Amino acid sequence: MQGARQGGDVDPQATDGVAGLARAPAVVVRELTQHSLKALPEGVFDAVIFQDRRREITTAVGLLPALVSGMLVDPDPDAGRIGIEVVLRDNLP
């Protein structure tokens, strides 16, 4: 399926015979970086999913003392929840 995506447009010939698809499948990548921010509007892929790295690190570091000392960790499943964000061409930061 090489060359299916060119500048955000889908080459209809590129999907002929590929799993019977009428169009190229959506491509989603992980991590919002300078490269993904540049590639997304260019149509290289369709979406980026990511989590707040600072919150990931803060949550992990906050849990370490409890884990090392054998203390119980807060049973509230939302206490350390780190949300997932989805970025599309329409909502670029």
Q: What is the pLDDT of residues 34-74, one digit of tens each?
A: 999 999 999 999 999 999 888 888 888 888 888 888 877 76
In a domain, 61, yes or no: yes
CB count, 10 Å around CB of 12? Answer: 11
- Decide: pTM greater than 0.85: no
Residue length of the chain: 93
3-state SS class at 63: helix
Q: Are 58 and 76 in contact (CB under 8 A)?
A: no
Q: What pLDDT, on the 0 to 100 scale, is given for residue 93? A: 80
Q: Looking at the domain assignment, is residue 17 inside a domain?
A: no
Q: What is the pLDDT of residue 1?
A: 38
Q: Is 5's pLDDT higher than 90? A: no
Q: In what order do the strands lie in the sheet with 47-50?
A: 28-30, 47-50, 85-87
Nearest C-alpha neighbor of 32 from the set 6, 52, 62, 8: 52
Within-domain flag for 20: no
Residue 10 β-bridge partners: 5
For residue 22, name the pLDDT band (cuts at 50, 70, 90).
confident
The count of domains in the chain is 1
Rounded CA-CA distance 2/76 in Å is 47
- Evaluate whether residue 44 is within a structural domain: yes
Query: What's the mean pLDDT when you consider all of the chain?
Result: 79
What domain range includes position 39?
5-11+26-91
Determine the pLDDT at residue 81: 77
